[in-house]
Amino acid sequence: MTILNFTDWIANAPAWLQALPDWLQNFVFQLYQTFIYQNRWKFFTDGLKITFIVTIGALILGVIIGLLIAIVRTAHDSSVKKPFFLLRFLNWFCNLYLTVIRGTPMMVQLLIMGFVIMAPKTEAGTIACGIITLGINSGAYVAEIVRSGLMSISVGQSEAGRSLGLSYAQTMWHIVIPQAFKNILPALGNEMITLLKDTSLVSVIALRDVTKQAQNIANKTYQAFVPYISLALIYLVLVIVMTKLLSILERRLRKSDH
């Protein structure tokens, strides 16, 4: 392994660098060994790839699971007569899922999926394991968010739809969901941001996400400041971009209100 030593480095550095004050030299040195030396910036981009794949995969899976569960739960809770057997069973199952997933920490779920249930053998398998675990976890939260949205639309709306001759599914799709979606967008955005940050836990199943890679750099340089501050900035930028996109979407949807 090649060792980078500050004294050697500064002796070979250009003159303008040697003219800087000590603390700034040291800071530039840390930046240099965190990002440039031996192409270490690749650690960050490699890690970001995993973070992106896991976040996007889990997001899609979470929304699908969440939607399905919310529809079952809403249909069950809003039915006037006693719901038929299958619906009652599905509702019971969804409740069980919500209780178990929301009642155990994400870290524990990752450890169980990674070492007991799935125990993936390949890199792709491990990524899939991460996506599935995070997706299942996020799905539980999305389900409650979506349900709150569906329940927030007054019964008069769906009654009106049904009176016009639309089926239950048509009423849902054309009348209830478009209005509900607008209401839940802020909460959904919140959940997405949480999910993005929760991906930093996947290192326990030996995935190298961007957090793990920053730790790896800190382990190589034994300097914590630059790698971890850079890591925080990376997450911050990602979240700011996400928030911006969500607010644009929100504004677009609000146009129909006027």
Partner 1 sequence: MKRIIAAILATLMLVACFAGCSGKKTLVMGTNAEFPPYEFVDDSGKIVGIDAEIAQAVAEKMGYELEIRDMKFDSLITAVQSGNIDFALAGMTVTDERLLSVNFSNTYATGVQVVIVKEGSDIVNLDALEGKMIGVQSGTTGDIYCTDDYGQDHVKQYDSGALAVAALVNGQVDCVIIDNEPAKNFVKANAGLKILDTEYAVEDYAAAIAKDNTELLDAFNKALAELKAEGKLDEIIKKYIPAE
Binding of partner 1 by 40 (CB under 8 A):
no
**Closer residue to partner 1 (CB): 96 or 224:** 224
Structure tokens at 10: 């500064």
**Closer residue to partner 1 (CB): 3 or 86:** 3
Closest by CA to 127, choosing from 63, 50, 199, 204, is 50
The residue from 148, 190, 200, 223 that contacts partner 1 (CB under 8 A) is: 223
CB-based contact 65:135 (threshold 8 Å)? yes
In our burial notation (b when 16+ CB lie closer than 10 A, e otherwise), range 118-136 reads: bebeeeeebbbbbbbbbbb
Binding of partner 1 by 206 (CB under 8 A):
yes
Binding of partner 1 by 149 (CB under 8 A):
no
Closest by CA to 78, choosing from 87, 86, 65, is 87
Q: How far is CA 58 from the centre of its chain?
A: 7
Rounded to a whole number of angstroms, the minimum distance from the CB of residue 148 to partner 1 is 36
Which secondary structure element, helix H or strand E, spans residue 160, and what is its range? helix 155-163
Instruction: Tell me the CA distances in angstroms from 166 to 150, 159, 175, 178, one per residue in order.
Output: 17, 10, 10, 15
What one-letter code names the amino acid at 73?
A: R
Binding of partner 1 by 216 (CB under 8 A):
yes
Q: How many residues bind partner 1, per CB under 8 A?
A: 24
Rounded to a whole number of angstroms, the minimum distance from the CB of residue 39 to partner 1 is 13
The residue from 31, 151, 218, 253 that contacts partner 1 (CB under 8 A) is: 218
The residue from 134, 140, 208, 214 that contacts partner 1 (CB under 8 A) is: 208
The residue from 57, 62, 120, 135 that contacts partner 1 (CB under 8 A) is: 120
Write out the residues near partner 1 by the rule CB under 8 A: 1, 3, 5-6, 46, 115, 119-121, 123, 126, 203-204, 206, 208, 212, 215-216, 218-220, 222-224
